[in-house]
C-alpha cells in the first residue's frame, strides 16, 4: 500500500504563508489523484484541493485564490502552498491519494497521518 507522510505544518500569523509537503512511498505516476483534506477542531474533514495525474487542479471555495496544490512525480511529492492565511484555516491537514476518485473522504484510498497548521490572530 501507499504510505503518505506530511510535513511543513506549524504556527503562522494571519496573512502569512506556509507550504505543506507530502512524500509518497509509491511512484506517483501510479497514482492518478492526489488531494489535501483538512479537519478543524469540532468540524468535519473537508476537501481543500485536488490534483489529477495530468495536473488539473480543483479547490474548495474557501481557499480558492489563496492555496495552490502541485505535484512532482519525479520526486514522489505533493505540495500545498498556502498564502494569505486566516484563523479559520487552522486545522490538521491530511495528504490523500486515490487511483480513481478522491472528491469525498470515503473515496480516498490512502491517507497520511496529518500535519497541524495553526494560524494565530
Q: Give residue-wise pLDDT tens across range 65-87.
A: 999 999 998 898 999 999 999 99
Q: What is the chain's alpha carbon radius of gyration, rounded to the nearest angstrom?
A: 13
Dist CA 1 CA 68 (whole Å): 27
What integer pLDDT is reported at residue 79 of this predicted model?
Answer: 97
CB 35 within 8 A of CB 96: yes
- pLDDT at residue 19 greater than cutoff 80: yes
Nearest alpha carbon to residue 114 among 45, 43, 26, 30: 45
What integer pLDDT is reported at residue 77 of this predicted model?
Answer: 93
Nearest alpha carbon to residue 20 among 86, 88, 92: 92
Amino acid at each position: 500500500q501507499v504510505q503518505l507522510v506530511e510535513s511543513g505544518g506549524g504556527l503562522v500569523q494571519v496573512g502569512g504563508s506556509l507550504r505543506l509537503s507530502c512524500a509518497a512511498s509509491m511512484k506517483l505516476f501510479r497514482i492518478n489523484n492526489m488531494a489535501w483534506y483538512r479537519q478543524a477542531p469540532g468540524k468535519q474533514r473537508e476537501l481543500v484541493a485536488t490534483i489529477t495525474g495530468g495536473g488539473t487542479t480543483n479547490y474548495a471555495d474557501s481557499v480558492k485564490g489563496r492555496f495552490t496544490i502541485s505535484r512532482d512525480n519525479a520526486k514522489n511529492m505533493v505540495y500545498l502552498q498556502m498564502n494569505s492565511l486566516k484563523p479559520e484555516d487552522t486545522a490538521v491537514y491530511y495528504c490523500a491519494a486515490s487511483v480513481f476518485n478522491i472528491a469525498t473522504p470515503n473515496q480516498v484510498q490512502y491517507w497520511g497521518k496529518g500535519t497541524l497548521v495553526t494560524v494565530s490572530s
